[in-house]
Amino acid sequence: MSTGVDPQELPPGLALAWGLPAKTSKLGRTPSQSVEQVVEAAIELADADGFAALSMPKLAKKLGLTANAIYRYVRSKDELLVLVAETGWGPAPDLVSGAGRWRTAATTWTRAMIDRCDVHPWLVDLPVRGAPVTPNLLRWTEVILESFTGAGLSPKEAIQCALLLDLYARRIAGMRRDLRQSSAGSVESTAVQDFLLPLLHEHGYPIVAALMMGNEYSDDIDDSDVTFGLTLILDGIDGLLSGNKRHHTADPAG
């Protein structure tokens, strides 16, 4: 389907993400790869070696292409990153519907983001270049907006709440990834605690010392930590919804 807009006038990767073919030169050999194969290879590189592996020379080498030939498929690294993000995030989760089910929907959505980042840890390193404009990312946005507006939030409030959950999910995912990859000694090890505890008492850190002695000062971000933070955020959104209901009850004409 043609939109009537020259793809060359659009941001990198946008036309390709929507399935519109890129303009390629008719000169030279028939392409040996597809854009989808190029993106799949890029994701394999990133899964194996992290975000830093997403370079055009490394991708060309993996595909058996020359450094210049890779640009027959994607015009720039910016275009590649857009396509990799679209594929890496993948389809949005299915959310329960109904005004009274928004908390369940928001929880499912946020945890799906965190889980997706566990599958592709490099997703949290991808630069955010603006509001979502590609199909999968727009669907992630649309489904959570449907839940929030269905519960009584305005579209503006809904997108602000979605942003809050998005930031929370990315931060949790990034911290979990960093902790998994860390080579630092565990704060829970006997050696570290035996070293720190006398110093904590001596230099005025009694609360941290008490947490450490009770095995509650940990390197991990476990499910209870995720649930605790998410519950506080959802309680805040619940307060916003309650405030909106009180406002409309007090001022029916408004």
Domains of the chain, with CATH numbers? 7-89 (1.10.10.60), 99-182+219-250 (1.10.357.10)
Residue 252 confidence class, pLDDT cut points 50, 70, 90 = low
Instruction: Check pLDDT > 50 for residue 27.
Output: no
Task: State residue 253's pLDDT score.
Answer: 53
Instruction: Check pLDDT > 50 for residue 248.
Output: yes
pTM of the model: 0.88
Range ranked top by mean pLDDT from 5-14, 194-203, 236-245: 194-203
Task: State residue 245's pLDDT score.
Answer: 73
Helices (H) and strands (E) counted in the chain, each on its own, are 10, 0
CB 16 within 8 A of CB 79: yes
Q: Chain-wide mean pLDDT for the chain?
A: 90
Task: State residue 148's pLDDT score.
Answer: 97
Cβ-Cβ contacts under 8 Å for 49 (sequence gap 6 or more): none
Task: Please state the rounded mean pLDDT for residues 7-23.
Answer: 81
> For residue range 72-117, what is the model confidence (pLDDT) as tens digits?
999 999 999 999 999 999 999 999 988 889 999 999 999 999 999 9
**CA 148 – CA 241 distance, rounded (Å):** 9
Tokens 């009850």 -> residue: 249
Task: State residue 99's pLDDT score.
Answer: 80
Instruction: Check pLDDT > 80 for residue 24.
Output: no
CB 20 within 8 A of CB 83: no
> For residue range 155-208, what is the model confidence (pLDDT) as tens digits?
999 999 999 999 999 999 999 999 888 877 778 889 989 999 999 999 999 999
CB 222 within 8 A of CB 228: no
CB 73 within 8 A of CB 30: no
Task: State residue 149's pLDDT score.
Answer: 96
Of 173, 189, 155, which is closest to residue 118 (Cα–Cα)? 173
Task: State residue 102's pLDDT score.
Answer: 97
Task: State residue 254's pLDDT score.
Answer: 47
